[in-house]
Amino acid sequence: MFNLILFGPPGSGKGTQSEKLIAKYGLKHLSTGDLLRSEIANQTALGLEAKTLMDKGQLVPDAVVIGMIDAAITNHPKARGFLFDGFPRTKAQSEALDELLNKKGASINVLLALNVTEDELIKRLLNRGLTSGRSDDTKEDVIRARLGEYHNKTASVADYYNKSGKTVLVKGEGSVDEIFDSLSAEIDRRM
């Protein structure tokens, strides 16, 4: 298996690059944000609970997202690998993910961290908010809350994987294709 974490703050391009990377490398895309938005669209109890937190720009509880990832991994026993997008976002999530993969005799091969300045992130998200229908993109205070959660709880996930030499920083500004080429080069070196 080849398992990749595409990492970075809100608006850094994780979703955009994931679409291209799964097409090129045949990995299964697991985005906890997308999974949560689909729970909201289906009006499940989990979705309703998550929506209140997401609308405020706060992380949903670890147990909720770990449960979703556990189920998704179990449901794709033949996957040649997973691309994790927006997960893990805390140390507890990182440890749980390592354990889930370990049970399959697998592990994370690399964490690619997209590096984008805060001004550019806010610009991209407000711009997407004009058309996305994502309620957490339209208000600048909610965007700032998301960035705050990232700095306080999530940024250290890159340090966690750096201890085993798996974290690689990639420039996240420039054209989508340029960034895709940089990410692909890092993957090719390890696959």
Question: In this structure, which amino acid lies at residue 167?
Answer: T
129 makes contact with ligand AP5 (CB under 6 A) = no
Compute the least distance from the CB of residue 100 to ligand AP5, in Å.
13
Binding residue (CB under 6 A) for ligand AP5 from 2, 4, 7, 14? 14
47 makes contact with Mg ion (CB under 5 A) = no
Question: In this structure, which amino acid lies at residue 16?
Answer: T
Contact 7, 158 (CB under 8 A): yes
Binding residue (CB under 5 A) for Mg ion from 5, 9, 15, 126? 15
Q: Report the residue number, 56 or 105, with the smaller CB distance to ligand AP5.
A: 56
20 makes contact with Mg ion (CB under 5 A) = no
Helix (H/G/I), strand (E/B), else coil: 9: coil
Catalytic annotation present for 128: yes
Within 13 A of 17's CA, how many CA atoms are on the CB side? Answer: 32
Q: Report the residue number, 36 or 183, with the smaller CB distance to ligand AP5.
A: 36
Distances (CA, A) of 21 to 4, 38, 68, 112: 10, 22, 22, 12
Per CB under 6 A, which of residues 144..183 are in contact with ligand AP5?
A: 146, 176, 179
Could you tell me which residues come within 8 angstroms of residue 89 by beta carbon, excluding any fewer than 6 positions away? Answer: 32, 59, 65, 153, 154, 157
Q: Report the residue number, 31 or 78, with the smaller CB distance to ligand AP5.
A: 31
57 makes contact with ligand AP5 (CB under 6 A) = yes
Contact 108, 101 (CB under 8 A): yes
Q: Report the residue number, 91 or 128, with the smaller CB distance to ligand AP5.
A: 128
Distances (CA, A) of 96 to 32, 103, 130, 158: 14, 11, 36, 15
Between CA 113 and CA 6 the distance in angstroms is: 6
Per CB under 6 A, which of residues 68..97 are in contact with ligand AP5?
A: 86-87, 89, 93
Residues forming the site for ligand AP5 (CB under 6 A): 8, 10-16, 32-33, 36, 53-54, 57-60, 65, 86-87, 89, 93, 124, 128, 136, 146, 176, 179
Q: Which residues are catalytic?
A: 14, 89, 128, 134, 146
